[in-house]
Amino acid sequence: MSLRTLLLGSVLLCGAAPAAVYAQCSAEPGIPLSRYEISGPQVTDTQTKLTWQRCAVGQKWHEGAGCAGTPRQISWKDARKLGGAWRLPSKDELQTLVSDACLKTVNKEAFPGFSLQHPEVWSGTETAPGQTWIVNMTSGAEFNALQTSENGALLVQGQHVAAQSR
């Protein structure tokens, strides 16, 4: 086999792989805004019945302008002390906000405060002593983080929701 044939075959084979992976993705562009009931700084998910703060901790909601400020980066211990009636969501609850589309992200109209600079938020789900799941709200990726590290927080109210399909 010639080098030219080998290179051409490699290019054709590698070019086909992304198309096959993309075909497995959901055709939906994201979670539709109609799934949410929005009331100023809060949004209720009509499927899970959870009520979420639209902005991450450290940001303020401004009607007509969205979330202003920078998400506060805090330890898991400090994040658990926030909110009064609000609480840290479980990893599974956070994942209900992330689309199954190929470009996984939250609905930007319902949750306008997430940026590529500060996308990770704490969950209330511990994985091992001193470690907890965090979720990247712009990609849907889950990571195991040390509880002493600093990440953002998005707070929720309502009954805990078990893992479910989006």
If one counts the domains in the chain, the total is 1
pLDDT at 27: 55
Domain that holds residue 103: 28-157
Domain membership of residue 7 (yes or no) is no
Our CA angle for 92, 159, 28, nearest 5°, is 45
Burial class (CB in 10 A: 0-12, 13-18, 19+), 6: exposed
pLDDT at 102: 74
Our CA angle for 145, 146, 150, nearest 5°, is 85
Domain membership of residue 8 (yes or no) is no
Domain membership of residue 23 (yes or no) is no
pLDDT at 25: 60
User: Mean pLDDT in runs of 10 for the chain (166 residues)?
Assistant: 39 40 56 94 96 95 93 95 91 92 84 84 96 93 96 93 59
* Amino acid (one-letter) located at 101: A
Task: For residue 113, give the CATH number of its domain.
Answer: 3.10.100
Domain membership of residue 114 (yes or no) is yes
Domain membership of residue 12 (yes or no) is no
Domain membership of residue 141 (yes or no) is yes
Contact 143, 136 (CB under 8 A): yes
Contact 61, 111 (CB under 8 A): no
